[in-house]
Structure 1
Amino acid sequence: MASQTLRRLRLLAARAAALPASPHLPFSAPSRAQAHMASSSWAVLGSIPRVAPPADGADVSLALTPPPRVSILTVSPRVFPEPVTPKYFPFVLAADPSGLLLLQATLGRPWTREITDGPHGPGVHWHNSEPRYFVLDANAGSAFRLPEPKPVDIMHQALLGLIASPGGGGHYMVSELRPIMGTDHATLLSFSSEVGKWVEKSVHYPLARRIFAPIGVVSHHGRLWWVDLTWGVITSDPFASDPALRFVPLPPDRVLRSREAWGESDMYRCVGVSAGKLRFVDTYYMGRVIGGTPNISVWTLPGPDSTGWTLEHEASFGEIWADESYKATGLPVEIPTLALIHPENPDVVYFFLEKHMFGVDVRARKVVDCKLYDLVAPPRCAVASRFVRAWRLPQQQSPGMLNWSNDPILTAKDKAPHGSYPLEGLTKQTFIG
């Protein structure tokens, strides 16, 4: 109910301050965006791939299309052998510039009872799914299934991240942060491609008695960054022999109450790497909505060891709507859904609205690109920033695996059933004391 009220307030405030909608005109981007190359150093990758046998027999293939159009990954039925549903579906958790992708491909199963041995004696667990995780090599077209981390299970896929080894050689680390809420203890559960097995490392957990609400993990500056869009980020180097966790809260006036915007924070916020720095984009903040329109703000973490964010630039949606570049798109005067930040130009932020994805130069208050987009899932009414990845492409691409295409069109059979496609997991975070 609270989230529905929030949406109504945002829409009413936006309409009250908006100029009359302009007639539909052909979109003409500013001059610096007119020369759009047939290829790009990055791609907008749809998080949910389609499942189909690739033509060349590989387990993974990708037809790239220049942003802001969405590039769609294809995985073979060997990777996901069952029909896609809104509860069980393949999902790209992380995309590394090395060409590696981390894919969750959990399958549904009938409820089963399992007796396990734990540190406090035997325990009973009920399961209705088969967790499966793959590291995909988009260059080679291969899929490596990670072994199960027995006797434990992955706690939550949004706590699982991928980072390339600083030593190179195609090696990587997949790590999950496993906090025990209410204590100062946590575990880093990591799979190293060099060691070939899962290893647990105990770490000090720096947070108070509040549930960390994960939405995803970003790799940056040789570290993993676990993101809670309502509170802040936790960072650590999983390659360290004695890793330490450090918490960086969001700017004080951007920290939300526990469970505020639960399940929809990534419609209004995102954290990503742009121009070599970690950035936080916020369109949720309500402080200046009354009598005006919501703002787009872009914040920067100046360095990997910084303790606070710097506001880079801010603009209101009203200023964007009033510009001729927005009127030329023919889009309605409505608050869009946040998609991502440009990985090379931190001035540019992308949004979903109706059938389009469009980029806004926040500093200049102008639309710089606008294209139709298509996703396997979810339906357009349920899109959010977690359903696309700004992927910096590997510098050396193997022919046949990452092909540029002018228009990869999804057919009806490529589409997944309608649904919200939420991030789900075992969520074994517990309170002690």
Structure 2
Amino acid sequence: MASPPSSSTSGDTAAPPPRSTWVILSSIPSVVQGSGAETADLSLALAAPPRVSRLTVSQRVFPDAPTPHNFPFLLAADSSGLLLLSAILAVPRTRVDIDRPGNHPGESIMHQALVGVIASPGDGGRYMVAELVPSFGSDEADLRCFSSDLGEWVNKRVHYPLPPRILSPLCTLAHHGRLWEAHGVLDKFRYVGVSAGSLRFVDTYRRGGAPNKVTVWTLRNPDATEWTLEHEATFVDIWADDTYKATGLPKKVPVLALIHPYNPAVVYFFLEDHLFGVDVRAHKVVKCDRYHLVAPPRSYPIANRFISAWELPRAVSSGIRKTEIVALDD
């Protein structure tokens, strides 16, 4: 990714009108019992934000009984309608076949957060799934690619100039025809996503004795090397507003959830059993409701990896159930 945020500031960029509706999608699908012909492999229960929409898959997609350690997980939800689903199985049914010169070894997915999906710019249902596997101590990495055109995995050796990082990556996301890798300090305090057509970095990580606050940064274009500060607010200012008082929530620093995909001034947070949106520029709560997730394992605290902001494809938003699943066995 680009270098850490700079300290420069600039005026706000007006967000374009929404191209379509969007939802907050739970990352852990429900698994419906039964696998008869009448059972759909995929179904969606859509709800307006800040309520959480749910994905349900059949036992044909995830044959094991879900447990705290084995469960399906949504890695990416693309506005083209592609859903990238990882099947964390007790016993892997298949392994990724990597086409290397001279042989085809079977290898498993190394790290879910380094896997992403990108749709063909020309649409037509074509896509590519890619996993980046850095070689630490080297300036090269393996890029494992699965193309819908080829129907198999191919390994590419690529230049990887970034230094080794101790902190785990949080996600891989598609933007501007590329896959981007997001790092951060846990997924309770930082978030990288696309809003109003630009990459945005949201930070709530407290440094030293500084006040708890939320900042929204923008990468002006895909080739930029510095982030620009767009919005910031202290939580003290947010708590003092009548809109926050009306929620009845305590004056407690929340867990960062996501950024609004069309309005970069609006950031969503988890607090207790609520999910609420804050207009950072105005210091006001704009949405608040209880959330209901397919429960993440109790050993995992709530974090932004358990939801995704999904810009609905027209086929879904118009009521046509036509969403393609790309399933990975991990």
C-alpha distance in structure 2 between counterparts of 1:373 and 1:339, whole Å: 12
The verdict on how the C-alpha distance between 1:314 and 1:202 changes in structure 2, with shifts beyond 3 A counting, is: same
C-alpha distance in structure 2 between counterparts of 1:65 and 1:209, whole Å: 40
Q: Which runs of 5+ in 2 are unaligned?
A: 1-19, 99-104, 324-328
1:287 Cα deviation from its structure 2 partner: 4.0
Residue 308 of structure 2 is matched in structure 1 by 389
C-alpha distance in structure 1 between counterparts of 2:93 and 2:247, whole Å: 43
C-alpha distance in structure 1 between counterparts of 2:93 and 2:228, whole Å: 39
Count of paired positions: 296
1:229 Cα deviation from its structure 2 partner: 1.1
Worse-superposed segment, 280-289 or 329-338:
280-289
- 1:119-145, CA deviations, whole angstroms, 9 ceiling, x for partnerless residues? xxxxxxxxxxx176xxxxxxxxxxxxx
C-alpha distance in structure 2 between counterparts of 1:379 and 1:357, whole Å: 19
Residue 64 of structure 1 is matched in structure 2 by 46
Q: Secondary structure at the match of 1:315?
A: strand
C-alpha distance in structure 2 between counterparts of 1:47 and 1:288, whole Å: 34
Query: Which of 276, 281, 293 is residue 197 of structure 2 equivalent to?
Result: 276
C-alpha distance in structure 1 between counterparts of 2:219 and 2:93, whole Å: 34
Query: Which of 116, 119, 139 is residue 161 of structure 1 equivalent to?
Result: 116
1:259-408 to structure 2, matched below 5 A, reads 265-289=186-210, 293-378=211-296, 382-397=301-316, 399=319, 401=321
Does residue 73 of the first structure (1) align with residue 55 of the second (2)?
Answer: yes
Residue 29 of structure 2 is matched in structure 1 by 49
- 1:112-168, CA deviations, whole angstroms, 9 ceiling, x for partnerless residues? xxxxxxxxxxxxxxxxxx176xxxxxxxxxxxxx96444332211111100001221
- RMSD of equivalent CA atoms: 2.3
Residue 417 of structure 1 is matched in structure 2 by none
1:95 Cα deviation from its structure 2 partner: 0.5
Query: Which of 168, 173, 176 is residue 213 of structure 1 equivalent to?
Result: 168
> Structure 1 vs Structure 2: percent identity of aligned residues?
58
Give TM-score scaled by structure 1 length. Answer: 0.65
Residue 79 of structure 2 is matched in structure 1 by 97
The verdict on how the C-alpha distance between 1:175 and 1:358 changes in structure 2, with shifts beyond 3 A counting, is: same
Letter paired with 1:394:
P
**Bigger radius of gyration, 1 or 2?**
1
C-alpha distance in structure 2 between counterparts of 1:209 and 1:337, whole Å: 27
Q: Retained in 2: the 8 A contact 1:181–1:211?
A: no
Q: Retained in 2: the 8 A contact 1:105–1:131?
A: no
The verdict on how the C-alpha distance between 1:178 and 1:104 changes in structure 2, with shifts beyond 3 A counting, is: same
C-alpha distance in structure 1 between counterparts of 2:97 and 2:154, whole Å: 12
Q: Retained in 2: the 8 A contact 1:61–1:402?
A: no
Letter paired with 2:307:
V
1:396 Cα deviation from its structure 2 partner: 2.7
Letter paired with 1:220:
H
- 1:252-297, CA deviations, whole angstroms, 9 ceiling, x for partnerless residues? xxxxxxxxxxxxx1011110000000000011132453xxx40100
Q: Secondary structure at the match of 1:320?
A: helix
C-alpha distance in structure 2 between counterparts of 1:42 and 1:399, whole Å: 13
1:6-155 to structure 2, matched below 5 A, reads 41-53=21-33, 56-109=38-91, 130=92, 148-149=97-98, 150-155=105-110
Give TM-score scaled by structure 2 length. Answer: 0.84
